[in-house]
Amino acid sequence: MLNIHFLILLSTLCITFSSAYQWKNAEIVGGGFIPGIIFSEAEKDLIYARTDIGGLYRMNKSTKRWENLLKWVGVDNWNYGGVDTMCADPIDSNRVYAAVGMYTNDWDQNNGAIISSNDHGDTWSITELPFKVGGNDPGRGMGERIAVDPNDNKILFFGARAGKGLWKSIDYAKTWSQVKSFTNVGKYSPSPEYFPAAIGISFVTFDKYSGNKGSPTPNIYVGVADNSTSTVYVSKDAGVSWTPIPDQPAHYFPHKGKITKDGMLYITYSDGCGPYDGQAGAIYRYNTKTGEWKDISPHQEPYFGYGGLAIDAQNQKNIVVATLNSWWPDAILFRSTDGGDTWSHIWEWDGYPNRKLKYEIDASISPWIEDDTKQIPEPTTKLGWMIESLEIDPFNSDRIMWGTGATIWGSEDLTNWDNGQTFHISVMASGIEETAILDLVSPATGEAHLMSVMYDIGGFMHTDLDTCPKTQFRTPNFSSGNSIDYAENVPNFWVRVGTEPYIAYSWGSGSSWYAGHAPNGVTEGGLVAVGAEGDVLWAPKPYELGVFYGKESFQSSKGIPGGARICSDRVNGKIFYGYLGDTFYRSTDTGATFTKMYTGLPEIETGFAKNIKAVADHEGDVWLAANKGGLFHTEDGGKTFTQINGITIANTIGFGKAADGSDYPALYITGKIGDVNGIFRSDDKGQNWVRINDDKNQYGTINFCITGDPRIYGRVYVCTNGFGIVYGDIDDNAGTPIQGVNTESNEKGNKNNKNNDENNNNTDNSTCWSEILGYSCCHTTCTSVEDDADGSWGIEGNEWCGIPKNCESYMVSDAAKKCTGALGYPCCTYQCSILYTDEDGDWSVENDDWCLIDKSIC
């Protein structure tokens, strides 16, 4: 009964207070795919960018830094971090919309939503959809799939995936209905095994100039990801009926469709849906007045398709398009100043392998993008790849931006291109942090405060969290980094592994690396742990190979299964630990042999999340984050374990500098206490916890890794899946303290420990007899949970209460004393902790909302 009591108590306390933390990103700048960029047509310098896994951004006009508008996305709606399409209202600049959802396959069990804002994205309303949205699916760079009617902005159309067709809203996206007259919902799927759902509709484009302000726009064009039948459709009656455009091109997929004032519809086509493919394609111009199609492709024998399409609102004959994908030697942008009749290439061959560039490029704010291992004709700094987002500022013909698989490039002097002058390109992704982090280590000594490895990029050494590192980990380079560790007693020795079948060593504290030899059969790095004196334990893929130990060469470990989560003791260099299934393993001979130390733990599967960690300066001290099984602790090397009460979910565990007066490091977890998801810290070995993030700073999926900083008390680094490296520091200027959560058995909460001396015996059960025992009488229930010599006991507000003998009569007389609420807020049903007092009474919080404290029960 006590465990139930404290699980409920935690959910009450933890969620009611704001965090006293400041949250930032460790600077990387970019790091992921930018499938969409939008310049507002209604407000100058209002720019949005969408990502496939890391939310939606708005550029700060004064700082020129992007700000993430979806940091509020949390564990329960993690899929909202994938933004499949977006649009800015061309009439009311306050309004912005997006379709969110991560996957349409079985990786994501959640439906998507349309989110809408009328304050530039500061706050959002959510309209849940009855189907999934694929923000990280193939074809995510097509679009935009959602559009606002430029003449009647309460009307929106949205093109869905997976055969769900075309949808319409007539109330600013509050409600939606399917346009059943639009019947070609698209049947093509590029990967039936992994992404069986059809890509569906690729873009929605209104012909603003076909209508009048205040009335629905009559002419609307919709592209469909189909290569077997007509792919572009038109409605001339505001979406009531639809027909395929006659004589349109076949065999290619339409990616972008934009129309100009003179009635020219420009469409980029590729033989793939993107963002990675594309070996052929075309650009067509369709004259909506005459019905004429014209192939205006700048390259008649392309080895690529076409994706990004930008039209200058100041002069609609000025157009820029991008290849999808010219991987070698670089991407190509094409510029036309006559509506596509002629084109200029951004670079040209000048006697192979030399190229003549019409631009200069600057990656100084994100220098890791440069790859000095490239050899001509490949440049060290590329124009990009996966270029689907390409936009010219409608208020400034000189400003252009395009998104790539790693960053946003842009220029402020684009028209120099037209004059034969060099134009200048630079990274314009400051503030965007879209990496997916797999491991973080904050060493106790050395120049670096943080070492990281991540998907799609090898990893980084941060000596200054506010400055982008000069280079990512190289030589050897991993396309993705999985795991990193160092020797606690030899802190200059580091090891990391990634997606390639080898291992990397550093004797320079991570500043330089070399490749080590891998056992035969290794296909991927898996996980690695480094002993306190420099011995290495390696659990690579395939897991059937088992676990290996050694230094420069490896031998098979015995007694531990492949794929186990592993870590080293941070004091004794001979000791390593492992955890898989329900079993905890220990080796005392540098990993040669393992012994089963403990069985019956919550079962855990293979994976990359950091679920097992040992504490520095404490031999045999290990913590296990067992996901939905909770949090476990051993101080004797696994002989015995203690489960920490009240922790519903512990995804990962980390340690940081101890609080003043403590000789034990601060603990950090991501998980769930009671019914509250969050990031939590304990300063007393897990007895009490505080939630240190708040609902505005949740960062989607945060279950891979976490670590404190051993040199800075309170600092914590968190792995996210698409929101980069997030770190938090205690806000010294905060005015509201953080509410603590006690997870130990509280003797005061156990009615069996009440003082049952003779003075407390009270046989008059008709009144509130339990008050002299230290317990209030029940005020809302007459149901007995337990009977003893004192009387009958119930539970209210997570506490024991005494049931009056004449309970029903007592409830009637007591009702006159009960609270009736105020200002539209209800009375508290169990909370008695006063957070605020005014003329209406004492206030607290229940279920994330204010309530008036009921003095008849408190």
Query: Which residue bears the tokens 């733990």?
Result: 601
Instruction: Give the integer Cα–Cα distance in Å for 469 and 506.
Output: 17
> Of residues 277, 418, 456, 695, which has the active-site annotation?
456
* 456 belongs to the catalytic site: yes
Is 328 within 8 Å of 352 (Cβ atoms)? no
Instruction: Give the integer Cα–Cα distance in Å for 594 and 627.
Output: 24
Beta bridge partners of 561: none
SS3 content of the chain, % helix, strand, coil (to 5): 5, 35, 55
Q: Cα 425 from chain centroid?
A: 29
Instruction: Give the integer Cα–Cα distance in Å for 534 and 551.
Output: 8
Beta bridge partners of 836: 843
Pairing label, strands 166-169, 481-487: unpaired
Residues 6 or more apart whose Cβ sits within 8 Å of residue 823: 840
Instruction: Give the integer Cα–Cα distance in Å for 656 and 834.
Output: 32
Cis peptide before 329 (omega within 30 of 0): yes
Instruction: Give the integer Cα–Cα distance in Å for 136 and 145.
Output: 14
| Long-range CB pairs of 678-683, under 8 A, 24+ apart, other chains included | 678/14, 679/706, 679/716, 679/718, 679/728, 680/741, 681/714, 681/716, 683/658, 683/659
* 52 belongs to the catalytic site: yes
DSSP 8-state secondary structure symbol assigned to residue 69: S
| Long-range CB pairs of 373-380, under 8 A, 24+ apart, other chains included | 373/474, 373/477, 376/329, 377/329, 377/352, 377/353, 378/328, 378/329, 378/330, 379/329, 379/330
* 3-class DSSP state of 568: strand
Phi–psi pair at 793, nearest 5 degrees? -120, 140
> Residue 235: what residue type?
S
Cis peptide before 216 (omega within 30 of 0): no
> Looking at the annotation, which residues are catalytic?
52, 456
